[in-house]
């Protein structure tokens, strides 16, 4: 497995952030891979999934949001988060010219990517991948966080666990049904929001991450 190349790029009015570009030998796609609210691009979930994606010929560009880069505990305003996604796309276009591009991320990172797409800030992106879309806060079911999704102009893949407390599956299925052919849902039994699974499921966390990578690869080949 090749090592990740360390990069930097600027986010308007927010400063410079770090990124990690992992390119397999024969990449077929590049995924802009944004982290969740509580952990940065080097979190074990991000590291392991990036390696799994590389194994199925998907390069990744992981990157920090400014608050994480500056070690502040509270996420940036949505405008800054969305601007970071857009800036990451420009970095990807320079780093891997010619590769078709996907974008998405873990939890908040995926949601902010969808906001950027809904605002037409990701014109070169062919599809969005959500590793645990945070449809609502824990114990507060609702769909307001999905209000912008009908404005997303590209196909979307939702990878969700049945024990995800940030996405009631009944509500999420209703949202996806309204999105029609642009949305695909892949459910992982017994997985929580971090994609940890119960022992009695018969699966391991490692197998689940491999499933996330393979499902993403299979889906994007149909785009």
pTM: 0.97
**For residue 42, what pLDDT band results from cuts at 50, 70 and 90?**
very high
Q: Which two tokens stand for residue 107?
A: 């939890």
Looking at residue 192, its pLDDT comes to 97
Looking at residue 138, its pLDDT comes to 95
51 neighbors 1 (Cβ within 8 angstroms): yes
Q: Supply the CATH number for residue 21's domain.
A: 3.40.50.1820
User: What's the number of domains the chain is made of?
Assistant: 1
158 neighbors 176 (Cβ within 8 angstroms): yes
Least confident of 11-15, 30-34, 101-105: 11-15
H-only helix segments in the chain: 44-55, 66-69, 78-95, 108-118, 169-179, 205-220
**CA-CA distance, 166 to 133, in Å (whole number)?**
8
Residue 159 has pLDDT above 80, yes or no: yes
Looking at residue 2, its pLDDT comes to 75
Percent of the chain exceeding pLDDT 70 equals: 100
Residue 144 has pLDDT above 90, yes or no: yes
Task: Name the residue range of residue 202's domain.
Answer: 5-220
2-24: per-residue pLDDT in tens?
A: 789 999 999 998 999 999 999 99
Q: In sequence order, which residues have a C-beta less than 8 Å from that of residue 60 and are 6 or more positions away?
A: 20, 21, 22, 30, 31, 32, 33, 50, 53, 54
**For residue 73, what pLDDT band results from cuts at 50, 70 and 90?**
confident
185-194: per-residue pLDDT in tens?
A: 999 999 999 9
What is the β-pairing status of strands 156-161 and 58-63? Answer: unpaired
Place of tokens 């990878």: 159
Looking at residue 202, its pLDDT comes to 87
Backbone angles phi, psi at 75, to 5 degrees: -60, 150
**CA-CA distance, 153 to 149, in Å (whole number)?**
9
**For residue 157, what pLDDT band results from cuts at 50, 70 and 90?**
very high
Q: Which two tokens stand for residue 51?
A: 């390696």
Residue 25 has pLDDT above 90, yes or no: yes
């Amino acid at each position: 497995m090749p090592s990740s190349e360390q990069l930097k790029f600027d986010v308007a009015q927010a400063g410079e952030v770090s990124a990690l570009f992992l390119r397999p030998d024969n990449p077929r796609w590049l995924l802009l891979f944004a982290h969740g609210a509580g952990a940065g691009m080097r979190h074990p979930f991000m590291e392991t999934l990036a390696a799994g994606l590389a194994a199925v010929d998907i390069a990744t560009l992981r990157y920090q949001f400014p608050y994480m880069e500056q070690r502040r505990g509270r996420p940036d305003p949505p405008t800054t988060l969305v601007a970071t996604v857009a800036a990451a796309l420009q970095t990807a276009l320079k780093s891997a010219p010619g590769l078709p591009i996907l974008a998405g991320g873990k939890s908040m990172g995926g949601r902010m990517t969808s906001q950027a797409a809904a605002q037409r800030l990701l014109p070169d992106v062919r599809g969005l991948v959500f590793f645990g879309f945070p449809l609502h806060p824990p114990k507060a079911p609702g769909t307001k966080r999905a209000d912008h999704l009908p404005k997303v102009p590209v196909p979307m893949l939702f990878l969700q666990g049945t024990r995800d407390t940030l996405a009631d599956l009944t509500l999420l299925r209703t949202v996806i049904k309204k999105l029609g052919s642009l949305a695909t849902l892949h459910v992982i039994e017994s997985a929580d929001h971090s994609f940890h699974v119960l022992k009695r499921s018969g699966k391991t966390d490692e197998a689940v991450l491999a499933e996330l990578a393979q499902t993403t690869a299979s889906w994007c080949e149909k785009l």
